[in-house]
Structures are given as C-alpha cells and as structure tokens.
Amino acid sequence: MNFRNAAWATGLVGLVALPFVYREPYHLHILVLILIWSFAYTAWSIMGRFGLVSLGHGGFMGVGAYVTALLWNHLGVSPWIGIPVSMVAAGMLALVVAYPCFRFRITGHYFVLVTLALSGIVLQVITATRDYTGGSLGYTPNRAPSGKGLMALQFDDKTTWYLIALGIWVLGLLIWRWVDRSMSRYAMEAISEDEDAAAAAGVNVTAEKLKITLISALMTALAGALYCQYQMFISPDTVSGIAVSLQMVFAVIVGGLYVSLGPTVGAVITILLAEVLRIGFGTKAVGWDNLVYGLLLVIFIIFLPKGILGSILDRLKTQPKPSGMK
C-alpha cells in the first residue's frame, strides 16, 4: 500500500511540475482537454459502475456550460458564482428526472431511454432559445476586460489552465475514491444486484440512487462549465446532446468502468485518437473519428467489456504465481 501511495505522490508531483519544464502550447492544450474530459468521464463512471447507465450526461454538461456562459454574458455574473449556479441547475434537473425514475423503479432500458431523451431535450432547448444561446451556431462568452481575467475565470496562459484542470481531475479521482470506500458503494452494489433484496435489507434504494446521481450530475456540470471557460466557445454539439453522452460512455467503457483511472485512460485514448485522425485526414476528417469511435465501441463491448485498464488489472490479479502451481 505504501508503494502505491508513493507512486501516486510521485506521479502527481511530476504532473504538477510538467508545465514548468515543458511548455509546448499544443501539447499542453491536449493535456488540458484530456484532464477536463477525464473529470467528466469520471463523473459518469461514478453512476455507471453501479449499472445506472445514463445517456443524459450530455444534458448536464450542456446546462453547466450554457448557464455559466449565459449568466456572464447577459447578467455579468462572474463564473465564480455562475458555475455553482449552473451546477445547482443541473442538479435540480437531475433530481426532477431521476426522482420519478427511482421512486417508481424505472431501471435498465427504461432508465437509459429516459435519460437519452433528457439529453436530446436539452439540445432542443438550446437550439430553440437561439435568440439567447446562438442556437446550433454556438456561443462565445464575452472577453473580460484586461486585468479582470481572474474575476471572469479567463486565462490566456495555458499553464494556469493546466493546473486548474489538474486540480479538478484530482478532485474527481478523490470523489471516486470517497464513493468507492463509502457505505453507499455497498448499498449501490446491493441495489444493482437486486433492488427488492436491498430494500428488504434496509437500504433506502431511492435515496441512495439519488445521492449518486446528484454527485455525478454536479460533477458533469462543473466539467461543462470549465470546458466552456477554457475553450471560450461552446455549441450544442460539443457540450450537449446524445453524441456527447455516448462519447462519455464510450470513453469509460474503453478505459475501464470499474477502476478509478479507467475513465482517464479512456479520455487519453479517445482524445489522442481524435487528434491523430484529425491530423492524419486533415479537414476531410469530418466523420472519420466518430466512425472509428463507433467501431471501437462495438468491438470493445463484444470482446473486452471491462475496458483496457480493467482487463489489464484483472489479468495482473488473476495471474497465477509462477512457482508453486501445478
């Protein structure tokens, strides 16, 4: 265990020190994206690992990004306040949709389809309110006057963003670990095995599920808001809708659903893949990256449902000791 802690600490120190040694802006940009998306994917996996497969996370992400940006542009509310407000909004949305689902035992296919519709509807709302949100053309937060960058949470400097994203990513892993070690985890595992049995054993099924959903939705909204602040451009297609929801699921499945670093591995693989395809195919690449994504997703689910990291760890654990066997 000490070895593991030491490895974590060394890795973390290395990651913090990285931007001070290595300053190539493009690579830092990719790293920031990977960290922000890793956080979003971790948020999804907190729910997903208990069989609560949500395709509504694109919706939560969209709420996080758009509410923050709209408050800043139209009311001049600083993202420091806007982000918590947007998280509360996403949390309320999650509760309104999830409560009836959980209260009335809507699980499995039903739950997936309801959440799928949720992300579709958030997309429709963003498109419908095009007078405010710019519709499908996208939306740009106003540039802050110079010197007010901190108040507006806008930094030109990649290093600052890298450190913010790193902090958020670590926060995501800590939340994952906290859930992993809490009583909720056992409750949720019991629920995902058999709801009636869990309820009979004294687990408050609805409350436990709502708690996990709420945590996941809040984190996803935060990821959306940060993505918006970093990219300074959001469009319904990049932060909301079914495609984004599926992208989250895809990355987590590829990386590994049941291990804490799985979503991160998934983010590294998917984002690098997208970048390589984008550079390889140039501007003709529209569509190719998703084509490869989709193929990989199907192949992974059929042949490697535990994901890359999950399968590797499994193999390490179950590997028979070389001596003493047979």
Partner 1 sequence: MQGFLDIFDIYLLEAVVNGILLGGVLALLALGLNLIFGVIDVTWICYAELVMIGMYGMYYMVQVFGLPYWVAAPIAIMLVAALGALLHYIVIEPLLTAPPINQLLATGGVLFILQSFATVAFGIDFRNLGIRLPVLAIGDMHFSYSRLLAFVAALLGMLAVYFFMTRTYTGTAIRAISQDRQIMSLMGVDTRRIYLITSALGGALAGLAACLLVLQYDVHPFVGLSFGPITFLICVLGGLGNFVGGFLAAFVFAQIISLGGLFSDLEWGYVLAFAFFIVMMFIRPAGLLARRS
108 counts as binding partner 1 under rule CB under 8 A: yes
Among 53, 70, 175, 265, binds partner 1 (CB under 8 A): 53
Q: How far apart are CA 217 and CA 56, in angstroms?
A: 9
Which one of 9, 12, 113, 174 is in contact with partner 1 (CB under 8 A)?
A: 113
Tokens of 147: 């010197």
Instruction: Report the distance separating Cα 311 and Cα 318, nearest Å.
Output: 10
Give the interface segment with partner 1, choosing from 138-146, 169-177, 286-294, 307-315 (CB under 8 A).
286-294
Candidate segments 76-84, 123-131, 170-178, 194-202, binder of partner 1 by CB under 8 A: 123-131
CA distances in angstroms from 76 to 80, 88, 152, 229, listed in the order given: 11, 18, 9, 14
Among residues 254, 87, 82, the alpha carbon closest in space to that of 154 is found at: 82
User: Could you tell me which of 106, 120, 4 has the C-alpha nearest to residue 53?
Assistant: 106
- Residue 290: partners with Cβ closer than 8 Å, 6 or more residues away: 243
- Collect all residues with Cβ–Cβ distance below 8 Å to 287 and sequence separation of at least 6: none
62 binds partner 1 (CB under 8 A): no
Q: Which of 10, 124, 182, 204 binds partner 1 (CB under 8 A)?
A: 124
Does 118 interact with partner 1 (rule: CB under 8 A)? Answer: yes
Residue 302 binding partner 1, by CB under 8 A:
yes
Q: CB-wise, 79 or 134, nearer to partner 1?
A: 134
**Could you tell me which residues are beta bridge partners of residue 252?**
none
- Considering only residues 179 through 218, tell me which ones interact with partner 1, judged by CB under 8 A: none
* CA separation for the pair 225, 65 (Å, rounded): 4
Indicate whether 138 belongs to the interface with partner 1 (CB under 8 A): no
123 binds partner 1 (CB under 8 A): yes
**The only residue of 75, 200, 286, 316 in contact with partner 1, by rule CB under 8 A:** 286
Q: Is 153 in the site for partner 1 (CB under 8 A)?
A: no
Q: x/- site string to partner 1, residues 79 to 98, per CB under 8 A?
A: -----------------xx-
Helices (H), the chain: 2-21, 25-48, 57-70, 79-103, 108-128, 130-133, 158-181, 183-193, 195-200, 205-231, 236-239, 242-255, 262-281, 288-303, 307-318
Judged by CB under 8 A, which of 51, 84, 138, 149 binds partner 1? 51
Residue 222 binds partner 1 (CB under 8 A): no
Q: Map the footprint of partner 1 across residues 226-255, applying CB under 8 A.
A: 241-243, 246, 249-250, 253
Contact between 294 and partner 1 by CB under 8 A: the answer reads yes
Which amino acid appears at position 93 of this protein?
L
Closest contact distance (angstroms) between CB of 29 and partner 1 is: 24
What length does the chain have?
Answer: 326
Rounded-to-integer distance, Cα 12 and Cα 171, Å? 12
Minimum distance, C-beta of residue 104 to partner 1, in the bound complex (Å): 3
Stretch that binds partner 1, among 32-40, 79-87, 104-112, 170-178 (CB under 8 A): 104-112
Cα–Cα dist 218/35, whole Å: 17
Residue 110 as a binder of partner 1 (CB under 8 A): the answer is: yes
Answer whether 253's CB lies under 8 Å from 307's CB. Answer: yes
Give 156's Cβ-side CA count (13 Å radius): 6
- Closer CB to partner 1, 78 or 107, in the complex: 107
**Residues near partner 1 (CB under 8 A):** 51, 53, 55, 96-97, 100-101, 103-106, 108-110, 112-114, 116-121, 123-125, 127-128, 241-243, 246, 249-250, 253, 286-291, 293-298, 301-302, 305
